Every structure is written in structure tokens, then in C-alpha cells.
Structure 1
Amino acid sequence: MSRYGDGAGSLNGDRAVSLYSPVVDAAARTPDALAVHDHTTGLGYGELDRRADTYLAALRGRGVRPGDRVLVWTDKTAEAVAVAQAVLRCGAVHVPVPRSNPAGRVARIAADARPALIVTDHTDRVHGIDSVPCAALFQEAAHRSGGTHRSDAAHHPVRPDDPAYILYTSGSTGAPKGVCLSHGNALAFVDWACRELDLTAADRLANHAAFGFDLSVFDLYGAFRAGASVHLVGETLGQAAEPLVDFLLERRITVWYSVPSVLVLMAEYGELLERGPGALRACVFAGERFPLKPLKDLRRGWPGVRMLNWYGPTETNVCTSYEVTAADLARTSAIPIGSPAAGDRVALDDGEIVVSGPTVMLGYWGAAPQAGPYRTGDLGRYDADGLLEYRGRVDDMAKVRGHRIEPAEVSGALVAHASVRDAVVVVVGAGLDARLHAFVVPETGCAPGFAELRRHCTHLLPPYMAIDALHTVGGFPRTANGKVDRAALGRLVARGAGV
């Protein structure tokens, strides 16, 4: 039997029921073992456990109760991990928002999530959210966690179906949309991933994704589940090829997980293949198609490293997996997204990928609970070997720079400019070449320029939603039923429509 027991066991064979219990267990078992390390600070499991309990007491002192949402808008640090653990121990719901999100977008997320508290490392960041209390817990409690636990730090017991966190993604209505996942949703995926990769306490995982993105769930909770260590890649390092390769080698990372575009960047500009994999034994990627040539180069250059392609929208965690082997060097088309994972059931309904099972979300925050299988909006088909292939989307949602983007949210930000009457955003290109083209109908008078609109959007959108090109038009082409003809706009780009 696996040391994970029936699929939800921890290192000591006990069944975990919450996302905070692995840290508690590891702290009791190996308190001095490294748990999390950022660019300056490393916390052992015992210290992470103590700091989490200190923050837990601080949260309760500010009135946070089970079921409340706590929005955490901070840099990606070990202290932020301790705060997240405290939120979960309180029975509250963790709402992580990456530091790169501007205050305007945070305000919209807060209006939707209605948090009891916003935790930030600098209270002067928050503007226009006066209705929500704000706390710089880091300044209050960061170094008051020594000694025994506080007597009022008892952890709130949770059930598998209790909500654990809300991840905000780009929304088709023009506003961010909150995906609510339970402790059980996350553990079903994390436990499967631990078995799939045979994680042990000796592993060193890299965390490249921001805490507000679903890829971080495996990095953090997979490491804690195995009693391993997780090493945080700072957001400023996220697209720096050579420093990322330095990080991989100097931190002796054994398991890497990121979007393919980051690995391609590291290979093209960071001499990833020339410098070798170091201690790496498993490389996992997800979130977008991996172009075939650089993938083959990586597979050929790292014969001793396992390579896995994971698929699943935020709403399902990871629901399929495919391991890339030497046999794939003969492929002439994109690799498949594979077979069902984590106990999920994956089917095609009129070509659309539909998922049901233990990793599927509770629902969108503020909307009705998820009922029945989740329709992903992704198109798929089975290859000759019965493996699932990704074939595109049924709607306008796209992956750009490894992030899920609804063009409507970007066009909504553009229309908020006083000189823009209407706007449509079209994704041109695919995979690593995908770019956001904005078509803008100006109000009477001088049309705003590209730099001005980019600057305007920085107050409403995160950096990965920045437009790549601007086209000023008098109106939009329409289909026979009156909808904007996005294909025609794409053809305008191909013909070199003016900027």
C-alpha cells in the first residue's frame, strides 16, 4: 500500500481533512525541517506552525470567524504562507490576490468576495475599499511567535466540503470571477499528485506561480503533504530567464511546475539545456500548449527527468495528466492532455470537455453551487490511443502569457477611459505567440494613444492583461445576427490595420 494510505493519508498514515493539517503534522514530526523559503527567509515546519498560530490569534482578535473571507494582498513571501495557514485554521476562506494586481481590481474583488478583513504588508496600498477593515498583520505579529502556542489558538475543525479558498480569474462579464474550492477539492488533487510524483520529505519544490493562481496549490500543499520544502520564486523574477535557471540550480530544486512559456524562456535565454537539470527529477507543466520543437529539445536534453503535461481549468484543479516519454520525440502534432487524474471522470459532450469528480469546485462565489458535471468550454477529441487532445475553445476565452484571459474584462477596462466609446479585444495567434489586440472606437475628438491606454489599464488590470497592440476604428464589422465579427477583426490585423 502507498504511504498515502487510501489516497488521503499523510506521511504517518493518518487521513488529512484540511489544508492546514499537513503543516501541523509535519511540525510535530520534524519541526526543524525546512518548510518554506522565499528570497530572504526560510521557515522550518515548527516555526511556520508557530507563526500560523500567532496570526490565527490576531485574526480572531480582529473578529474573523469561520466562513468569513480574508483577502490577502501581499508580496509572495514565507510570511504570506503563514497568514494563509492562519486563515484556514480559523475556518475562514483564503482569498489570495497577487501583489501585481492594481488597487482598482482589488476593489472589484473585494466588492464580490465581501471579505471580513484585508491583510496586506503595507496598509497604504488599499485605496477606495474603506468599507473593509485592513490589517498589516506582518507588522503586528511577525516576530511574536516564539515559545508555546497561544491558548486561544485552537484550530477550527473543518469538513471536506467546507470552502478553503477563492481564486479570482478573468470573467466574461468584464469583472473578475471567484472560483470557490473546498478543502476536499484541493486534497483530492494534492494527494493524487503526491502519489503520481512519489514526493518525499527530501524533495525541494519550486513555486513559480503567484498565490492567486491554481498552479500554486500543488507547489504549497503538495510540499506540505510530503513534509518537503517549497521555494518561492519572487514575482519580480518570474520572467527573468537566467536568474530563473540560477534559482533552479542553486536551490537544488527536484520538482518544477510552471507554464510552458516560462520553460521556453529559460531554454532560449537562460541556457537551461546547456547548464543541465541539476537535482531536478520531475518537470511538470500546465496552462497552455507546449510548442512541439522546444518540448522535444527538453525531452531529448533531459533523459533522466520525468516530464508531465497536466490539464485542468481553475474550476477543476488538475483533471487529466500525460507523461512525455522518448516515444513522443517521433510526434508531428501536439502532445495529448492524457487520461483522467485525481479520481475525476472526463468525457466529451458534443466535443466539449466535461469534468465531474472530487476536484471540481464548489461553484463560483456568489452564484448557485456547481450542479452536475462542469463544462470546461474547452474542445477535445480522443486520439488513436484513447488519449484526450486539446482542440481549442467554444468561446472567446484564451490563454495569453500562460494566464487565462477573458477579452471582455480587458475591453471593459478600455471603455472605462473617458475618450473611448467602445472597445473589442481579440486574441491573435496561439500558444506562446498569442497577443491581445485592442480595437477602439474613440469618442468625438482626439483618440487616446497606445501608451495612454496601457497606462490607464494598469489601474484596473494585472500586468498579464496588458494590451499588445491598439487599432483605432470607426466601428466593428458584424455577423449576420448582429454580433461583433471577431474573425474579421483578426483578418484586419493580418492585413496590417493601423495603430
Structure 2
Amino acid sequence: MKNILEYLERTTDTCGEKIAVADQHEEISFHELSMYAKRIGSRISQLKYRNAPVAVLLDKTPRCAAAFLGVVYSGNFYVVIDSFMPADRINKIFKTLNPKALVTDYAHKELAENLSHPGEIIWLEDAVETPVDAEALSEIRKRSIDTDPLYALFTSGSTGMPKGTVISHRAVIAYSEWVESTFNIDENTVFGSQTPFYFSMSVTDFYSTIRTGARLQIIPKMLFSFPMQLIDYMNEYKVNTIYWVPSALGLVANWKALDYADLKYVNKILFAGEVMPVKHLNYWKSKLPDAFYANLFGPTETTDICTYYVVDRTFADDESLPIGRSCDNCDALVLTDDGREAAPGEEGELCVRGSFLAEGYYNNPEKTADVFVQNPLNSAYPERIYKTGDLVKVNERGEFIYISRKDFQIKHMGYRIELGEIEASAWSVEKIKNCACVYDDTVDKIIFIYEGKVKKNELMTAMWKKIPTYMQPNELIRVKQMPFNANGKIDRAHLKKHYQDYM
């Protein structure tokens, strides 16, 4: 196996008429997905590029999935561009990327034609009518290898310039093999897809679908504001497996939606992307006690995930979930600042080695060299590891425990403080729906922002029982609703910049 398209072709041969990807408007079978992808690939192949970036600017639809695979058929790699992203940010990405082509549709014609350096614009409506050039596609495949790039995902960069993580076929082949075997994904799986295609979590359900013949049912974003309609939609399409960010699961828990309606088919609940409040997990477990639950953890640079924890015991609302153990064929290490392996219980940075690793950042050798480094435990031969920037430790059970991001760790009143620990102290308060802690270094203040009908003195009393004086926030701010970013996570950057607007 050297190319992800081999999975698509195998699945098409075995269950070609089965629905592959669907939303509320359209559903396409594996046969149709393959046909559309080959036609799009034939159109792009006319440009005569190889292993070059091709941007895809489309809404999250079944035909968007076909466009991704079409780029791959052409021998190039796709770059997902959010159709709701401001033009200024797209232009920043294109400045780094210099795409050779842009696949979009006529619905986004005005935006596409006003972008800087998009390459040749290929209209999806025309591309899907292109005759398949089987000879050209065959020649492209003959030259492919498993380390060819499959896609690049652009995430926020610390300098304000987005950075593009390049993922190879080999990485997705290895990663999807682990997903399939660990979570028993098969042709009977119906994913309820929540995350945007430009978010690494979408790789898990999309490529598991391509690999196994599962069904990817795209959930309209608006339904996450209407939990009862969300449940109705999931029941209508018999969704049995979800892989969501905790904030999406928290929305259902905060509205207590499962008190009023049942999720008739869901039996597998996976989550990643941010810390899962145990309070929300316990609500789901009380309503779906026989379901399988797992906490997945990892950055885009490890394809999606590097460690995972299958929930196998009970946790109190104010406890934190482990992030578990390394995935198969992916080794996670805890390294100290001086490059040695941390002892059990000792804090260190989570570092990762193995086939899940990205190739690096596109057109950014300096940033790549900063975080993809030689394994300090091995001086005998070249071996890359990725430094995640996440602080962890290993508990007495041998499980990784997440502490915080390195950049969430602050120095306040002479003490080193993990903002996540302050947040954890509040989750035992019953009426807390969401919370976030930020640090304003300009005035040396810890700011705790929360959503829920809780009086400040009640909250302070509960938190002060769990954290020492030096960790107590300088300000408590109650908001009607937490701001969320495009990935569905709490927007901490916005809160840090604008918390005074909520006071």
C-alpha cells in the first residue's frame, strides 16, 4: 500500500453502490465518489504538475470530498481553504503556499477571482464533466510513493502567519490502520461528522470511511445551536459513531438535551481537540451507559492523534481524564528541558516519533527545524521526533496525564501556574457550563471567565477549596455565552484580548 486511493478503489470494488458521503441535500456512493474524483483528477492533471499544492475552496459537502480525492488522483496534494475564511487570511496562506491551482465552484466565484495568487481556477461544476483520462492517471500512480504529500492543513502561527502542516500518504495509511483496528470501524459505521474539513480531526472519520466502507454523514453546523434538532437529525440518518470536540458534546450536556430525547443509534463516542470536562462526560455516560467512550489526543503534526484513553473507570466531576497511552505504531515520549526521559510523575514535554509524523511545514524550514528535531535519546543515527509543546506526566497506572500547553503555563507572584488546573477547580460547581482561564501579562492578572448561573461568591468558595491562594484568579467574569472559534473550541485568544469588554 503506497497511496490512499488504493483504499477508495478497493472499497468501490466491494461496495460501490453504498453511500460514502452525505449531507442533508445530497448523498453520493463510493462509485460516484470515485468517478467524480477521477474526472476532477483528469482535469487537474492537464496542468502537468506533480506533488504541487492545489487549494480547494468549497463548502463542506460530499462533492468537496470528491475534490480532495481528485487532487490526489492528479498526483498533487490538496490544501483545504475554509469558504468562510476572510480573504486576508486566505491571501496570507497563498503567499506561503503559492498554489498551482484553486478548485472552487461558481457559488464562490467573486471570492475566488479576487484572491491573490490562486493559480489557475478550476470550476468544480466543469471539472466533474471532464472525461476520465485513464492513461494519464495510471502514469501518475506509477510514479507515486508513500512519502508523497497527501494534503496540507494550515493552522495559526505564533508570528501571525499561518503555517501549513504537510501530511504524507504513509502517515494517513498508518494512522487510519490504527483507527480502524482500535475502534472497530467497518462498513456498518455511520459517522456523524462535526468538525470542518480544514481541522485535522476530520481526517479520522473521512479516511476511515474511505478505508472501510463506512458512511460519513455531514451534520449541518447550525444544528449545534439547536440540540433537539441535532438529535433528530442523527436519529434520522442512524448515526452510530461520533468524533467531536468536547465543546460540541458540552452543548448537548448543558442543554440536558438527552433528558428529553434519545440518541437511538449512537454507541461510540470519541472526542479530542481540547480538554473534556468530566462533568459533561458523566452526563453522556448517564444517558448512554453502554456506549464506548475514548479521549483522543494529538496535534495536526501527528496526522491527528498520538495518544488515546479508553474510558474504563469512573471519574468525579472535578477530576481530569488521562490522555492514555501511545497509539500503535506511534511512540510518545516525555522529555525534560535537558533532553532526558522524564521519570514517572515528573513533568516534561510530550514528544512523538513514528509514521504518524508530518513531513514538516510547507515553505517554512525554520519553523520545521524548531519542532521536528533529532531524538536526544538516540545519537547513533538520524531519527526525527516532533516536540508537541504539551506538558504531560505519567501517572501510577502508566497513563499520560495532560497538564497544559507550554504557552498556558504562566509565572504569577513568583509561582509557576497551570491555567488548566484553575479551570479544573471550577468544574465541580454544578451550574458551570463552560469556563476558561487567561492571563494578562501586561497587568499580571489571572482572569477566570465562565458561563452558567453561578454567583461569584459561590464559585469563589468552591474554587478556593481546591487551589492555593497564589492560584486564585484576580477577576471572575460571567458571560452569557462563551465565544467559540471556527473549530468549535473555546476562543481563548479572543477572551484574552477582549475580556475587559465582558466586565
- Normalised-by-shorter TM-score class: 0.7 to 0.9
1:320 aligned partner? 307
Would the alpha carbon gap of residues 470 and 381 (structure 1) be closer, same or farther in structure 2, given more than 3 Å must change? closer
Instruction: Using the TM superposition, give the Cα deviation of residue 269 of structure 1 relative to its aligned residue in structure 2, in angstroms.
Output: 2.5
Q: Select the residue among 197, 201, 220 that pairs with 2:187.
A: 201
Does residue 467 of structure 2 align to residue 467 of structure 1?
Answer: no
SS state at 2:393 partner = strand
2:233 aligned partner? 247
The alignment yields a C-alpha RMSD, in angstroms, of 3.1
CA contact (8 A) 1:32 1:46 kept: yes
Deviation digits for residues 443-462 of structure 1, max 9, x if unmatched? xxxxxxxxxxxxxxxxxx99
1:387 aligned partner? 399
SS state at 2:323 partner = coil
Deviation digits for residues 2-26 of structure 1, max 9, x if unmatched? xxxxxxxxxxxxxx32222211111
The one-letter code of the counterpart of 1:467 is H
Distance in 1 separating the partners of 2:63 and 2:207: 16
Would the alpha carbon gap of residues 261 and 397 (structure 1) be closer, same or farther in structure 2, given more than 3 Å must change? farther
Distance in 2 separating the partners of 1:386 and 1:28: 43
Distance in 2 separating the partners of 1:462 and 1:305: 25
1:454 aligned partner? none
SS state at 2:334 partner = strand
2:269 aligned partner? 283
- Which ranges in structure 2 are unaligned for 5 or more consecutive residues? 337-347, 374-383, 411-418, 425-433, 444-485
CA contact (8 A) 1:380 1:391 kept: yes
Distance in 2 separating the partners of 1:462 and 1:344: 25
Q: Select the residue among 335, 348, 372 that pairs with 2:321.
A: 335
2:459 aligned partner? none
Does residue 35 of structure 2 align to residue 50 of structure 1?
Answer: yes
| Mapping for residues 83-482 of structure 1, pairs under 5 Å | 83-121=67-105, 122-126=108-112, 128-142=114-128, 144=129, 152-154=136-138, 156-157=140-141, 158-269=144-255, 271-272=257-258, 274-316=260-302, 317-325=304-312, 327-329=313-315, 333-350=319-336, 351-368=348-365, 370-371=372-373, 372-396=384-408, 430=423, 432-434=434-436, 467-468=494-495
Q: Give TM-score scaled by structure 2 length.
A: 0.75
Instruction: Using the TM superposition, give the Cα deviation of residue 331 of structure 1 relative to its aligned residue in structure 2, in angstroms.
Output: 7.4
The one-letter code of the counterpart of 1:380 is V
Distance in 2 separating the partners of 1:240 and 1:168: 29
Tell me the matched-pair count. Answer: 412
Which range moved further: 148-157 or 371-380? Answer: 148-157
The one-letter code of the counterpart of 1:308 is A
Which range moved further: 293-302 or 307-316? Answer: 293-302
SS state at 2:140 partner = coil
Distance in 1 separating the partners of 2:199 and 2:189: 22
The one-letter code of the counterpart of 1:59 is I
SS state at 1:252 partner = coil
Distance in 1 separating the partners of 2:409 and 2:5: 33
Distance in 1 separating the partners of 2:331 and 2:73: 31
Would the alpha carbon gap of residues 337 and 274 (structure 1) be closer, same or farther in structure 2, given more than 3 Å must change? farther
Instruction: Using the TM superposition, give the Cα deviation of residue 397 of structure 1 relative to its aligned residue in structure 2, in angstroms.
Output: 9.5
Instruction: Using the TM superposition, give the Cα deviation of residue 250 of structure 1 relative to its aligned residue in structure 2, in angstroms.
Output: 1.4
| Percent identical | 25
1:421 aligned partner? none
Would the alpha carbon gap of residues 274 and 84 (structure 1) be closer, same or farther in structure 2, given more than 3 Å must change? same
CA contact (8 A) 2:194 2:243 kept: yes
2:49 aligned partner? 65
SS state at 1:189 partner = helix
Distance in 2 separating the partners of 1:470 and 1:64: 46
Would the alpha carbon gap of residues 367 and 266 (structure 1) be closer, same or farther in structure 2, given more than 3 Å must change? same
SS state at 1:154 partner = helix
Instruction: Using the TM superposition, give the Cα deviation of residue 497 of structure 1 relative to its aligned residue in structure 2, in angstroms.
Output: 8.5
Distance in 2 separating the partners of 1:107 and 1:238: 30
1:77 aligned partner? 61
CA contact (8 A) 1:319 1:344 kept: yes
Instruction: Using the TM superposition, give the Cα deviation of residue 470 of structure 1 relative to its aligned residue in structure 2, in angstroms.
Output: 5.8
Instruction: Using the TM superposition, give the Cα deviation of residue 357 of structure 1 relative to its aligned residue in structure 2, in angstroms.
Output: 1.0
The one-letter code of the counterpart of 1:391 is I
CA contact (8 A) 1:163 1:180 kept: yes
Distance in 2 separating the partners of 1:202 and 1:56: 29
Would the alpha carbon gap of residues 145 and 270 (structure 1) be closer, same or farther in structure 2, given more than 3 Å must change? farther
Distance in 1 separating the partners of 2:96 and 2:224: 28
Deviation digits for residues 242-271 of structure 1, max 9, x if unmatched? 332222221111210011110110222361
Distance in 2 separating the partners of 1:42 and 1:24: 19
Would the alpha carbon gap of residues 234 and 70 (structure 1) be closer, same or farther in structure 2, given more than 3 Å must change? farther
The one-letter code of the counterpart of 2:349 is E
Would the alpha carbon gap of residues 246 and 438 (structure 1) be closer, same or farther in structure 2, given more than 3 Å must change? farther
Deviation digits for residues 127-154 of structure 1, max 9, x if unmatched? 6534333525222134x379x7755443
Would the alpha carbon gap of residues 217 and 48 (structure 1) be closer, same or farther in structure 2, given more than 3 Å must change? same
SS state at 1:328 partner = coil
Would the alpha carbon gap of residues 469 and 310 (structure 1) be closer, same or farther in structure 2, given more than 3 Å must change? closer
CA contact (8 A) 1:281 1:305 kept: yes
SS state at 1:206 partner = strand
CA contact (8 A) 1:311 1:320 kept: yes
Would the alpha carbon gap of residues 187 and 263 (structure 1) be closer, same or farther in structure 2, given more than 3 Å must change? same
Distance in 1 separating the partners of 2:221 and 2:316: 36
Deviation digits for residues 209-259 of structure 1, max 9, x if unmatched? 111110000111001111111111234445443332222221111210011
CA contact (8 A) 2:282 2:317 kept: no
CA contact (8 A) 1:56 1:90 kept: yes
Q: Give TM-score scaled by structure 1 length.
A: 0.75
The one-letter code of the counterpart of 2:391 is L
- Which ranges in structure 1 are unaligned for 5 or more consecutive residues? 1-15, 399-425, 442-460, 472-492
